[in-house]
Every structure is written in C-alpha cells, then in structure tokens.
Amino acid sequence: TIVLNNPRRRNALSLPMLQSLRRDLLHDVKSRELRVIVIAAEGPVFCSGHDLKELSSEDDVKHHSQIFELCAEVMTLIQKLPVPVIAKVNGLATAAGCQLVASCDIAVASEKSQFATPGVNIGLFCSTPAVALGRSLPRKVALEMLFTGEPLSAHEALMHGLISKVVPEDKLEEETMKISQKICESSKSVLALGKATFYRQITQDLDTAYKITTKVMVDNLTLRDGQEGIEAFVQKRKPVWSH
C-alpha cells in the first residue's frame, strides 16, 4: 500500500510527491511476493492535483516541463507495472488527482468521494488529466467535466465508468482488501501477461486486437502456470502456482 501523506497540502502532486510515488511504485516490483499495489491517501482529500505554487511564473519553462513530464511518466508507469494497481479513494480527487484515479487499473471509492477537473476555472485547462479521463469516460461526460470543472459524485463516476465500485466509507478498506485478496489467488505471471496485453490491444482496431490476443493466448499456454491451471481444473484440485 502506498499512502499519499501530505494532507496539509491536500496531497498535491508536487515534484517531491511525484518522485516519491514513482520510487514507491517501482519498489520491489520484481519481487515474486508483490501481487497488488493499493494507492490510498490521508485526510479528506485523496489528491488535489499539481501544487500550483510550483507552476507560478517565478519558475521557468524547464521546471514546469519537468513536473508535467514526470507526472505523465508516473501515470503511464501504473499501466506498465506487472501487478494490478487499485486506487482506494476516500474524499476529493481533482485535476491530476482525478487523472491518478483514472490511470489505475481498478478504483474503489467511498460514497462521499468526488471527482473533478477544475483547471479551467483557474485558467489552466486540465489537458494532461484529459488523457486518462478521455480513456475512462464517454467523450461527452469527460468534456463536460473539463469544460465546466463541476465534480462528479461517486455514484455518477461509477455510472460513467471512472471507478469500479462505490461503498460506504466504513466498508472501503474491507472491499479493497477483498478485491486484492481475490487477485492474490491467481498466478502473478498470468496476470502480468494479461494486464500488459489488455493495454496493448485496447488502442488497436478490432482485427489487430484479435491478432495480438490470439498470439498471447497461445503464449499463455506455454507458461508453467498456464498448464498448471488447466491440469488442476481437469483434475478437480486447486492449482499450485509457481508465479
């Protein structure tokens, strides 16, 4: 579990916070023991996005570029990791914080959570959050969020596909752990192959997507755990994964 822990700054994705998040996401990534990553936060705001104090005219273009490039690297890294990444959201997620939620593989939110891209209201359109948002939400819903800055409730976010589940606040930890434990019952190598393939095929046309996934299904059968799972099913026993 990675916890965004700067509630006094509304868990803003400052340059140090982004550097720390990248470091933590990569921590033990090659360990066979690592099976799921959960991103959570302290305080009433999950993440308020970029630290606007770092985006003032006092800093130069090079500094601003460094911040946005690192943010893009972290967001894409989440989808490149070999294990599922779950956002556990309990509060407000805005701008790049909303982008972070949209970039995770799964997102579980409490009923009090809200999601917004309000940059337009301060003259900084949420163009980079729009990349993740536009790939998670229907275009017209994403654009309404981007053009107005108005928030989605947790239930609206669920309805439109930004998050996976909405639960009462007191059930958030339990539900997140339930999903995590279910993931841990499967083979890490099979999940890693499946996750990488999902993101590879999702941007392709239908024929190309089927060509990619047909080959991967065959590759999956060559994995030790691919054969173990089939043998266990036929023999009516629990599989023993080698990961």
**Does the domain formed by 2-184 have CATH 3.90.226.10?**
yes
Q: Sheet containing 152-153: which strands, arranged edge to edge?
A: 45-47, 92-94, 114-116, 152-153
What phi, psi does 163 have (nearest 5°)? -125, 165
User: How does pLDDT run along the chain (243 residues), one tens digit per residue?
Assistant: 999 999 999 999 999 999 999 999 999 998 989 999 999 999 999 999 999 999 987 778 999 999 999 999 999 999 999 999 999 999 999 999 999 999 999 999 999 999 999 999 999 999 999 999 999 999 999 999 999 999 999 999 999 999 999 999 999 999 999 999 999 999 999 999 999 999 999 999 999 999 999 999 999 999 999 999 999 999 999 999 999
91 in Cβ contact with 139 (< 8 Å): no
pLDDT for the residue 58: 75
Query: Distance between CA atoms of 136 and 202, rounded to whole angstroms?
Result: 12
SS3 content of the chain, % helix, strand, coil (to 5): 55, 15, 30
Query: Distance between CA atoms of 24 and 39, rounded to whole angstroms?
Result: 10
Amino acid letter for position 167: V
CATH number for the domain formed by residue range(s) 186-235: 1.10.12.10
Percent of the chain with pLDDT over 70: 100
Do 2-184 and 186-235 agree at the fold level? no
Residue 119, helix vs strand vs coil: helix
- pTM of the shown model: 0.96
pLDDT for the residue 155: 98
Tokens of 69: 């490039």
Q: What is the pLDDT of residues 154-186, one digit of tens each?
A: 999 999 999 999 999 999 999 999 999 999 999
87 in Cβ contact with 39 (< 8 Å): yes
Tokens of 170: 């007191």
Instruction: Please report where in the chains the tokens 């275009």 appear, as a residue.
Output: 139
pLDDT for the residue 117: 98
Q: Where are the domains of the chain?
A: 2-184, 186-235
Q: What is the pLDDT of residues 96-122, one digit of tens each?
A: 999 999 999 999 999 999 999 999 999
50 in Cβ contact with 13 (< 8 Å): yes
pLDDT for the residue 32: 86
